[in-house]
Amino acid sequence: MHKRILPYTTAQKDLSLQQKIGQLFMPAVFINDTEEEVAKMEQLIHDHHVGALCFFHSRASAATNFEGKKKVVHNEKSYDRLKTLIERYQKAAQQPLLIAIDAEWGLAMRIENTPQYPYAITLGALTNNLDLIEQVGQHIGLDCKEAGIHWNLSPVVDINSNPENPVIGYRSFGDSKGEVFSKAGAYLKGLASSGTLNSIKHFPGHGDTATDSHLGLPVIDKSLQELQESELYPFQQLIQKGVDSVMVGHLLLPQLDSEEPSTTSSKIITDLLRNTLGFDGVVISDALNMHAVSQRYPEKGKLEATAFAAGMDMLCFSENVAEGITEILNTATEAEIEQSFKRIWQLKEKAFSHSKDTSPTKEPSGLNRLLAQNTLTELHGKAEEVSKIKSGAFLNLSVNNNIQNRFSVKIEEDLGQKPWDLTKDKATVETLLEKHQNVVLSIFPPAVKPKNNFGFENEVLDFIKYIIAQKNVLIYLFGNPYALDIMGLLPTSNAVLVYQDFSEFQEEAFQHFIGKLAAKGKLPVQLKTFQP
């Protein structure tokens, strides 16, 4: 941090109204940008007194690449590049920048070769282990601080009540409002201990939708009372405990506002979030380039000004900074601008004055191993079959999807059962299946999101369904538990949810397989096959 933050009273006097509006803008910046693009951003920061930046991996990733047509290029040196760019952008700024990133499960969400921690859905499987989630929050916060990042735009506190949700799903702690609240609270406590700012999202609740707001506008057709009984509960409870910011999602709630999506709705931001829930901290938008809202406002700067008028303080991923500043200057009152500027500046003071220097109690790998030991979940429809499969001759099958399969290799090393990959050894597997009734099937889904059947090719999925229908199968799933719902499981099927494909999770799954580790996890969502 090359510059000291001015006290608010000094900044209030020293900055012009136009400069104060600039502080409300958080354009996106990209680790893998060209020198020309970096120089252009440096100029924008300097000329318009931009207040914050949100880092993404590249223009082909995340919210910038809705249709997924651009190839994301792997960059081994992303982390070093991130630190270099933060330094350059801070130098270009006349006032210190708040640096933000989405690091829900660690910097690895955006940056290669950085520590990755489990997805929220995995943490949702923990029972009475909030201290482990707190440690995850602290680790992630310390990783952010080390990189020069002040603001982790997480956690997700949406209740994932719709299995078809294409964008929340594995990013949510589960489908129970109480569990989401308590687990998000533990994560926030850990983040706070590191001195990293937080943002609970996506207000007023993005869980019960089957539409991806990157592409379209999800509709949540619920009354205020229905929302208060579910979606709003974690937000309300966490706001009362104290949070740095609330991110507003792009959602249409016709029973609250039939005209405007939440991003530009004063009924949702000012009336509900500010007045009803009593939140007086920073309200930040979800990415303003997302199609759910960007296509509604073709005139540059109009979306930013409308969101600000509705009660938004920080305009994330604005692609029209100059026009947005002009539009707000022309349409907003000085009092409105001062109010948002004060909130942002006080957040900066908090971020830049935080000197607490805590150290993590464990290495990332040690923490991940502990999490693996406490999240493994048994879904045994016919438990008596499991011991028969393990004790007799079985086929060691897998669907690896280019993941290094330590689990199947350990089975071979310790039990002598050669591993076979369904996708690479199909003809051999078909022959072997004629001789084996018992199968241990480890599955590594190609994708974590449900789009296009989690990335499974139809032929592979059909083969999995055939094996499940014909044989005694014990599945170990190293991925999103919702993937089980597309595999044709029967109520009598036996599965173990491992949730992650990390080496630590694979090794602990093997310990479970040989009976040396009890499954302590609880499924945090409902699956069609395994209804309680």
Catalytic positions, written as ranges: 214, 286
Distance, CA of 141 to CA of 122 (rounded, Å): 19
Residue 315's DSSP bridge partners are 25
Report which secondary-structure segment, H or E, holds 229.
Answer: helix 224-229
What is the helix, strand, coil percentage profile of the chain, to 5?
Answer: 45, 10, 45
3-state secondary structure of 284: strand
Specify burial of residue 90 (Cβ count, 10 A radius: 0-12, 13-18, 19+). middle
- Which pair of structure tokens corresponds to residue 372? 């693996």
The contacts of residue 191 (CB under 8 Å, 6+ apart) are 137, 138, 140, 141, 152, 154, 197, 198
- Which pair of structure tokens corresponds to residue 260? 């405007």
Distance, CA of 131 to CA of 146 (rounded, Å): 22
3-state secondary structure of 306: helix
Residue 419's DSSP bridge partners are 396
Pairing outcome for strands 472-477 and 494-497 = parallel
DSSP secondary structure string for all residues of 61-119: SGGG-TT--SPPPP-TTHHHHHHHHHHHHHHH-SSPPEEEE--BTBGGGTSTTS-----
Report which secondary-structure segment, H or E, holds 477.
Answer: strand 472-477
Cβ(288)–Cβ(294) below 8 Å: yes
Residue type for 446, please? P
Specify burial of residue 418 (Cβ count, 10 A radius: 0-12, 13-18, 19+). exposed
Distance, CA of 123 to CA of 184 (rounded, Å): 10
Specify burial of residue 388 (Cβ count, 10 A radius: 0-12, 13-18, 19+). middle
Specify burial of residue 385 (Cβ count, 10 A radius: 0-12, 13-18, 19+). middle
| C-alpha gyration radius of the chain | 24
3-state secondary structure of 57: coil
Cβ(483)–Cβ(169) below 8 Å: no
Tokens 């296009």: give the residue: 452
